Chains A and B, each alone.
Chain A
C-alpha cells in the first residue's frame, strides 16, 4: 500500500473538507506542510499574509462572507502566538475557523526548543477546541473533528498543533472520514415542543413586543424564517451590530440598532416593551448597558443555540434552546398575524427625534469639515446595497454600521465582541476571496489601519479588488471622544501624526487618492468603485466629531444621549 507523509495527509484532509484557500505564513516547524502545498498548488490556494494576525482575520473575513470554515496556518512559537488575537476574536464572535500550527518535534516538547511555545495552553481559553497531534496516524481523525467542531452548533475557532515529526512520518492506508458525531458534544440541542407553545402564548398576547436579533440568525442561515416571523407577527425588530443585514435596512419593521451607539427608538423602548424576544444574540454589555435597569418591565424570551448563554447576563422568562432555523420555523404557524401600528409608530417617532438632532446634521451635512456619515451616504448612493462592508473598530465602525444600507445577508463584517483594531484590512481581503463576485468595501480609521497596514502587500500580491476607505481624523477618535466626555478633555496619547497614506499605498502599487473637500467626495467614491482592482481612498474628516447617540458606560439603555 502507498505510504504518504503526515504533511501530505494534512493537505488531503483539507481538500476533503472542500477547503480552497489557506491564509498563512511559513516557518521552520511547518515546512513539511508548505512543501506539500507546493505540490498541491492547483488544488489549494495559499495566501501569503504579511503577519500571522492577518491570516486569522483574513480567515475570519473569508468565513463570514462565504459561510464556510476559514483556515489559517502558521509555524510554531511566534507564528502561533501571533494568531492568538484573531482566534480570540473568532471565539467571541462565533466565527468558524481552523488554525493549523507547526510545533517542534515531539521528542523536543517541553525542552524550550527553538521556537517552541505551548500554544495549546495559550489558546485553550480562546478556542472552542484545540488538540496537539504528535503522531501522523492521528491526523485524519483529528482534522475531521476540527472542521466538524468549528462549523457545527455555535461555530468557533479550533486550533490544531502538529509536531514536525508527525508531519514527516509516513503513514499507510490514509483515508478521510468526515466527522458526524462526537459523543461528548451536542452541537444543536433538540428543542422542546412545549416550550415553543409557551413562547407562542407569550408572543400572541403581548401588546408591545420587541425583537432584538443578533448574528445567530445569520450563522444559522435562518434569514428567511426570521423574515417570515417578523412579518407575520408584525413585531418591530432591532439588531445588534453583528446581526445587521439579516433583513434589509429599509424593511418597514427594521427599527434600527440597539446598544451603546444604537438608535434612539429601540434603546428607549427596550425599557417600555412588555415582551422582549431575543433571537441569536447574547446580551453583551455594549447592548444592555446597566443590567439592573435593562428591560425590567418586560418578559424575555431567548431563542438561543448555546445553553450557556441563557441566564448568563439577563434572566429570562423562557428559553427556546435550539437552532433558530428550526425553532422559528416551528413557531411560525402558531403565531397570530398581527400589526402593531401604534407601537411601531413609537419607534418611528423616537427615531425621528434622532434624525433631527443627529442624523440629518451629519448625514446631510452642508458646511464645515467632512463627516464620516457623509462618506457612508456617498457609498450608499453609489452602490446598490449589495456590497460587503468591512469595518475596523472605533468611531468609523459605529458610523458605518449605523448608516450603511444593506439588502443582502452576510454583508457586515466587523470585530464585534473583541473590538480588535487592525481587523478590517485583512478581513476585507478574506471577505473578497470568500465571495469574489461581491464588492467589498473596507471602512477603516487611521489608527486601526496602521495596526495591520502591512496587509496592503497581501492585497497587492493577490490582486484582490478590495476598496479601502480610510476615515482619517488624525485621532484615535473613540478614545478621544471618551476623553472629551468623561476625562475633561485630557487627550492622553490619542492624537496621531500620520504618514502620507496615499504615498504608502502607491508604494504597494495600489491606486490611491486623498479627498478633503465635500465637492470632491462623490466623484472620488465613484472613481474608487469603478476602478478595476484594489483602491485606497483617504478621506480627511472633521477631527473632533463625536458619535451619538450614546449610552454612557454603566448607564441604562433608556438614558441614551443624543448630544
Chain B
C-alpha cells in the first residue's frame, strides 16, 4: 500500500488527558507519529492538534474516523502536503566564537534566510522557519562549526482552501 504524508488537524475541547486519548489511537494501530504540535486554536477554549503521519490513504481515513469518534473531539481533517501550507521552526545553538572567527557562518545565515535570535558571550542562537528540507539543509551547513544544541518543532499548517472551523462548530 502506497504511503503518503498526511497532516491531520484535530479540533478538541480543552480537557486533561485528551492528548493521551488521541495518541492511543495511533499506538493501537502501531502507527508512528512523525510530528505533533498542539495549542489553542483561533477559537477560545478550543485546542488544535496538528499530527503528521506517513500512512496509506485507507489508513488515514480510518484513523480520522476513530479520532472523530472520541467524545471531546470536535472535528478532524486530513490533508496532503499539496493541500496545505506548512512550516516547522528550528533553533540552532552555536559557539559565539565561531560567529566572529568564521566569517563564512554569517553568509550561511544570510543565504538561508535564518535569523539570529540572541547572542551571548558563550553562544548564539539561530532560528530558521521553513520546510523540513530547509531546516535540515541549514543543520548540515552549521554542523562543521560545532552545533551545541539543535531543536525542531512539529509541523504547523493551514489549508489552502478555507476551512471555516467556527462555522462547523456553530452547526454542531
- On A, residues with C-beta under 8 Å from B are 120-121, 124-125, 128-132, 149, 182-186, 306-308, 310-312
Contacts and interface: CB of A to CB of B under 8 A. Distances in A.
A311 B61 contact: yes
A183 B20 contact: no
Interface string B6-43: 00000011011100110010011000000000000000
Nearest to B72: A184
Contacts of B28: 125
17 contacts: A124-B20, A125-B27, A129-B72, A130-B17, A131-B15, A149-B71, A183-B74, A184-B12, A184-B72, A184-B74, A184-B172, A185-B71, A307-B65, A307-B68, A308-B66, A308-B69, A312-B65
B52 interface: no
Contacts of B13: 184
Q: Which of B66, B69, B72, B169 has the most CB of A within 10 A?
A: B69
Contacts of B169: 183
Interface in B56-77: 61-62, 65-66, 68-69, 71-74
A130 B17 CA distance: 9
Nearest to A181: B172
Interface string B71-100: 111100000000000000000000000000
A130 B70 CA distance: 11
Contacts of B69: 306-308
A325 B65 CA distance: 23
A312 B27 CA distance: 17
Nearest to A309: B65
Contact of B24 (A124, A129, A131, A312): A124
Nearest to B20: A124
Nearest to B11: A184
A129 B13 CA distance: 13
A184 B73 contact: yes
A103 to B, nearest CB: 13
A132 B61 contact: no
Contacts of A120: 17, 20
Given A183-B172, A312-B62, A124 B71 contact: no
Nearest to B169: A183
Contacts of B61: 311
A473 B13 CA distance: 53
Nearest to A158: B71
Interface string B88-117: 000000000000000000000000000000
A308 B17 contact: no
Contact of A121 (B20, B66, B73): B20
A-B pairs with lowest CB-CB distance, top 8: A308-B65, A184-B74, A129-B71, A125-B24, A308-B69, A183-B172, A185-B71, A184-B72
A130 B21 CA distance: 10
B155 to A, nearest CB: 24
Contacts of A306: 69
A128 B28 CA distance: 15
Contact of B21 (A124, A307, A308, A312): A124
A132 B15 CA distance: 10
A131 B74 CA distance: 17
A210 B61 CA distance: 28
B23 to A, nearest CB: 9
Nearest to B62: A312
B70 to A, nearest CB: 8
Contacts of A182: 71
A302 to B, nearest CB: 13
B88 to A, nearest CB: 28
Contact of B17 (A124, A149, A184): A124
Q: Which of B16, B21, B28 has the most CB of A within 10 A?
A: B21
Contacts of A308: 62, 65-66, 68-69
B168 to A, nearest CB: 11
A326 to B, nearest CB: 20
Given A132-B16, A132-B17, 7 more contacts: A121-B20, A124-B21, A183-B169, A186-B172, A306-B69, A311-B62, A312-B65
Nearest to B15: A131
Contacts of B12: 184
A306 B169 CA distance: 20
